[in-house]
Amino acid sequence: MPQPTEKKLAGYLWTGLAVVVCPCHLPLIIGALAGTAAGALLSVHWVLGLVGLVCLFLVSAAQAWRKLS
């Protein structure tokens, strides 16, 4: 069984991931990846990137909520 401090640290890490992959940051992520293969892929297929980021955001936000509650 995880210790309370480990659970809290995991919650903070999930929160950090949720903040980074928030769908409103997609233009910033594409800009940060400019000139790379990942950036080219995201700029062409931005709808798939948006769907992926939304799913990852929802999972990470739910995990953060669960760990920090």
Q: If you write DSSP's letter for every residue of 17-38 in order, what string do you get?
A: HHHHT-GGGHHHHHHHTTTSHH
pLDDT at 3 over 80: no
Instruction: Please state, in angstroms and rounded to a whole number, the distance separating the CA atoms of residues 67 and 41.
Output: 33
Query: Exposed (0-12), middle (13-18) or buried (19+): which is 2, by Cβ within 10 Å?
Result: exposed
pTM for the model: 0.77
As a whole number, mean pLDDT of residues 24-35 equals 82
Tokens 């990137």 locate to 49
Residue 67: strand, helix, or coil: helix
Write out pLDDT tens, residues 42-51.
889 989 888 9
